[in-house]
């Protein structure tokens, strides 16, 4: 439904699924995080950034309570929160979410792991929006080096980083 831009239909569908899964698993079960994130994605697509942030914040709270505040499981939600808050022009919040995601991945996987790239890009985008390209450049160069190592010099994964470097 989202692919067809039928967001209100998708939202109703995802809300119904969430309601059923909340009933089955509980309001604070990690089992419902994906459903909450689906609603966040629909809200983001409609540029309802405050609503999207609320959904992702709820997902984060559930995962933090279930898995811990420094669990790798929270990194995708932190990256989504960074994206949403950046779109809402809350650059400080966006950078904090992205930096936190980056710190968690680095702690568990090391500084050169490919899982660092989304957070590096999120932080760099905020820096570019804040007109501080000198801070963004090393982050983008690092993301590019990680991606090149992971997928070779011509991998499609390099395109977003190269695009940002071109800015």
DSSP character at residue 153: T
Q: Evaluate if residue 2 carries a pLDDT over 70.
A: no
Tokens of 10: 């998708």
The pLDDT assigned to 166 comes to 57
Confidence of residue 64 (pLDDT cuts 50, 70, 90): very high
Instruction: Return the percentage of the chain with pLDDT > 90, whole number.
Output: 56
Between CA 131 and CA 36 the distance in angstroms is 33
Q: Evaluate if residue 152 carries a pLDDT over 70.
A: no
3-state DSSP percent of the chain in helix, strand and coil, to 5:
80, 0, 20
Q: Are 140 and 164 in contact (CB under 8 A)?
A: yes
pTM: 0.83
Mean pLDDT of the region 93-107: 92
Q: Evaluate if residue 21 carries a pLDDT over 60.
A: yes
Task: Please list, in sequence order, all residues whose beta carbon lies within 8 angstroms of the beta carbon of residue 54, skipping any fewer than 6 positions away.
Answer: none
Between CA 163 and CA 37 the distance in angstroms is 27
Mean pLDDT of the region 131-153: 83
Mean pLDDT of the region 43-67: 97
Confidence of residue 154 (pLDDT cuts 50, 70, 90): low
The pLDDT assigned to 117 comes to 85
């Amino acid at each position: 439904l989202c692919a067809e831009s039928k967001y209100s239909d998708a939202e109703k569908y995802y809300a119904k699924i969430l309601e059923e899964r909340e009933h089955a698993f509980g309001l604070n079960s990690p089992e419902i995080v994906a459903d909450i994130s689906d609603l966040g994605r629909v809200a983001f697509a409609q540029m309802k950034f405050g609503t999207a942030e609320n959904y992702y914040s709820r997902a984060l709270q559930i995962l933090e309570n279930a898995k811990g505040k420094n669990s790798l499981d929270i990194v995708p939600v932190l990256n989504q929160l960074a994206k949403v808050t950046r779109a809402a022009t809350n650059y400080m919040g966006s950078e904090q979410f992205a930096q936190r995601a980056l710190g968690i991945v680095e702690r568990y996987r090391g500084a050169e792991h490919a899982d660092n790239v989304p957070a590096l890009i999120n932080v760099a985008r905020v820096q570019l929006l804040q007109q501080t390209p000198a801070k963004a450049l090393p982050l983008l160069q690092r993301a590019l080096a990680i991606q090149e190592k992971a997928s070779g010099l011509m991998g499609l994964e390099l395109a977003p980083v190269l695009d940002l470097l071109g800015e």
